[in-house]
């Protein structure tokens, strides 16, 4: 990363769509899996732009989108999704800054606790969140599709 170029974290803009989709397809295997057509990054972005778009953040460096974080607050808990950092720019605290930015935005809304889910096959991500103070809750995560294609 060029130390002379600042890293900025800002709200997602529709003009970032192509860059964010490219980053997600690189970082999240499900977004490039032809067996999972319901995992459509464009639909995920469109849905987020319709619901709390102010909680969708990108990290920008040298004119490039190098990270994303998506948050939501339902009035009881906050949630964090789609945290991604460009593979070539890992371990430079970009993920830490994205999470801190999302946490600050949730705190400003009065959110008392943020939850997130980590896929079982990504144990290294648990190391990242542990470094940021996240601890496993004694819960089993359940889910159910509601008659519409999965979008997130
Ligand atoms: C998880 C992710 C966002 C971390 O981003 P990052 O910018 O590289 O993380 P940071 O530089 O802020 O890391 C902060 C600390 O977290 C820990 N950490 C980060 N990545 C780690 C890894 N792969 N293994 C173990 N610990 C890790 C370290 O303690 C690190 O501090 P250090 O570099 O001084 O040792 C990034 O690896 C990523 O995009 N992964 C793929 C997408 C993904 O799985 N997202 C999470 C969905 S739930």
pLDDT tens-digit series, residues 85-123: 999 999 999 999 999 999 999 999 999 999 999 999 899
pLDDT at 151: 53
Q: Where are the domains of the chain?
A: 7-131
Q: 95, 97, 122, 152: which to mutate for ligand 1, most atoms within 8 A of CB? A: 95
Q: Specify the CATH number for 7-131; select among 3.40.50.1820, 3.40.190.10, 3.40.630.30, 3.20.20.70.
A: 3.40.630.30
Summarised one tens digit per residue, pLDDT across range 8-53 is 999 999 999 999 999 999 999 889 888 887 789 999 999 999 999 9
Rounded to the nearest angstrom, the distance between the alpha carbon of 21 and the centre of ligand 1 is 20
Region of 30 on the Ramachandran plot (φ > 0 left; ψ -120 to 50 alpha; else beta): alpha
pTM of the model: 0.95
Which residue puts its alpha carbon closest to atom 46 of ligand 1?
Answer: 83
Q: Is the pLDDT of residue 150 over 80?
A: no
How confident is the model at residue 118, as a pLDDT?
A: 95
Report the separation in Å between the CA atom of 146 and the middle of ligand 1, taken as the mean of its atom positions.
32
How many angstroms separate the alpha carbon of residue 72 from the centre of ligand 1? 21
Q: What beta strand segments (E) does 52-132 contain?
A: 56-61, 64-73, 78-85, 114-115
User: Mean pLDDT throughout 136-145?
Assistant: 94
């Amino acid at each position: 990363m060029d130390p002379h170029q600042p890293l900025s974290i800002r709200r997602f803009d529709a003009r970032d769509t192509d860059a964010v989709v490219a980053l997600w397809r690189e970082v999240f295997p499900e977004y490039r899996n032809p067996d999972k057509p319901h995992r459509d990054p464009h639909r995920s972005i469109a849905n987020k732009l319709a619901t709390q778009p102010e909680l969708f953040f990108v990290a920008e460096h040298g004119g490039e989108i190098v990270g994303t974080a998506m948050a939501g607050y339902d009035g009881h808990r906050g949630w964090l999704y789609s945290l991604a950092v460009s593979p070539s720019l890992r371990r430079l605290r970009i993920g830490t800054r994205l999470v801190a930015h999302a946490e600050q935005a949730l705190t400003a809304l009065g959110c008392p606790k943020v939850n997130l889910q980590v896929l079982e096959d990504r144990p290294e991500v648990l190391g990242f969140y542990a470094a940021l103070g996240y601890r496993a809750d004694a819960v089993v995560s359940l889910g159910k599709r509601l008659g519409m294609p999965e979008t997130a």
